[in-house]
Amino acid sequence: MIDPSQDSGVPGGKEILAFADAAIGPDRPALDRARADLAGALGPKAVSAASAVAATFTKNDRLANGTGIPSELPMLKNSKDIRAELGINDFRTAVYSRTHYPDEM
């Protein structure tokens, strides 16, 4: 979703993007390399900080799903094709968005 070849203008941006990509992927050696590269670019505290941000995002998303918060209407409208392609509308938690926005599901 993000082109890591583009300069983000953020110090260590390339390494941060590589870490984020590796953190959600299945390749453990790639994650180990990304951690080392991020630590080399911004220091070891950056690895902890980036990990905390990734974990918090996952936590927040799961909390929203668990409490039944529906997806926002603009997001639903803009993601209709990809949700259909990935079968996301079949997820159990899609019922919350379907309840509020049945025409967008």
Same domain, 95 and 60: no
Q: What is the pLDDT of residue 102?
A: 84
State pLDDT tens for residues 34-52: 999 999 999 999 999 999 9
Residue 49: left if φ>0, alpha if ψ -120 to 50, beta else—which one? alpha
Structure tokens that stand for 95 in this block: 């019922």
Query: Do 45 and 60 share a domain, yes or no?
Result: yes
pTM for the model: 0.62
pLDDT at 2: 66
Do 62 and 78 fall within a single domain?
no
Q: Are both 9 and 28 inside the same structural domain?
A: yes
Give me the number of domains the chain comprises: 2
What domain range is 89 assigned to?
69-105
Instruction: Mark whether 14 and 61 lie in a shared domain.
Output: yes
Check whether residue 80 and residue 56 sit in a common domain. Answer: no
Q: Are residues 50 and 10 in the same domain?
A: yes
Residues 85 and 52 grouped into a single domain = no
pLDDT band at 19 (very low <50, low <70, confident <90, very high): very high
